[in-house]
A and B are shown apart, each in its own frame.
Chain A
């Protein structure tokens, strides 16, 4: 059983295709997985990973920094103003950013630095998933 999945950013559709399952994290609700024919659902997404299991069994992972998920009529639509597919993430840079930000975070409690660090962590989690798959 398959359903339709789209990951949509304000500038373009990042991913569109059929999938067996979508895993994402809602604000306050923790992880939730959607399978085909799920009941209508509306949720706010946390700053976390979204995993899409495609019909060929492969996973498409994305770092989604807040957004919304709308499930209806056997389709899952993920909206986010800041989302990156695995293939779009520069992991080299993410690691450098992490080092720099972690040093920075020691002597400041700037919320913006915290938020940036969080985003970097989510990006690197995507890489961990990619690594463990092989």
Chain B
């Protein structure tokens, strides 16, 4: 029977419709959160810039650039990767892009006989790497959408500690940079040792460096400052990742909503076709039945029929 099939189709349409409502809601929520996440990126900028500026001034005044956090090591035996992902999925390729990038980088290090270790943020990376038996030295979860400075400090400090102990010789930071609403890019940056290029480069517009007073000695300030600089870099990576996560989710959910709409359209056409076919069959049956009935009851009454024709014309 056609109506049974039609009922199944109608039920599917209803189910797709309710899924569409959910994906649409998620799309709108993500869209509103992008703005807030972007504001947090902006709000964090002054601190990061000032910290960098202070380091620049210290370096220009001759503070020791031989600090352990600044010194590249001759022999690299172990590289740590800091990977920043989301706690939740439904964000398209957002999480898998980071995970794939890290996996590739780890494989590359291993092929050169260099050991690795992972420090991850976000449940997605944690469960992926833990499940596959990767060496996880740190996992921070539950804050991917709204990272706070403490989260960054926790992660950064544990990495710094291992670096200073000589457990690891280099740290790479892998996260998703937020370039614009439409563009986010997986980016790998060296976190440790700190890239001195950006710090020591002098701006053209500044003449002689002003003669500074220091309290305490420049080297001691640097000692306090460099860990804060690393923390601030991790923090701004987390904030950019949070904005990227929302943007990726918004895109994924919009695609899902569009898809659902398309599906509803096609299913509706199918259902309507079936319904029409059912109606046609019914009409055929009625007409056929009536004809059979007529033929059975009054056999040719040509006279009456002709009379009617006459009257009409």
Interface status of B235 (Cβ within 8 A of chain A): yes
Q: Given known contacts A11-B47, A43-B221, A81-B153, what 13 new A-B pairs fall within 8 Å (CB)?
A: A10-B232, A11-B43, A12-B43, A28-B215, A28-B220, A29-B215, A41-B214, A42-B57, A42-B221, A43-B214, A44-B215, A44-B221, A81-B228
From B185-193, B205-213, B261-269, B278-286, the one touching the partner chain is B205-213
The 7 listed contacts between A and B (C-beta, < 8 Å) are A13-B43, A27-B216, A42-B58, A42-B213, A44-B225, A68-B228, A77-B50
CB pair B149–A81 under 8 Å, yes or no, is yes
A40 adjacent to B44 (CB under 8 Å): no
* Number of residue pairs A-B, CB distance < 8 angstroms: 87
Please determine whether B221 and A40 come into contact, CB atoms closer than 8 angstroms. no
Q: Is B126 an interface residue (CB 8 A)?
A: no
Interface size for B (C-beta < 8 A) is 32
Give Cα A70–Cα B92 distance, bound, in whole angstroms. Answer: 44
Cβ of B254 under 8 Å from chain A: no
Which residues 1-26 of A have a CB within 8 angstroms of B? 6, 8-13, 26
B54 adjacent to chain A (CB < 8 Å):
yes
Number of interface residues of A (CB under 8 A): 25
**Complex partner residue of B216 from A26, A70, A72, CB under 8 angstroms:** A26
Q: Determine if A112 is an interface residue (Cβ-Cβ < 8 Å).
A: no
Give the complex CA separation of A9 and B40 in angstroms: 12
* Shortest CB distance A44–B (Å): 5
Closest 10 CB pairs of A and B: A43-B215, A29-B215, A40-B210, A10-B149, A26-B215, A12-B43, A40-B212, A10-B47, A28-B216, A41-B213
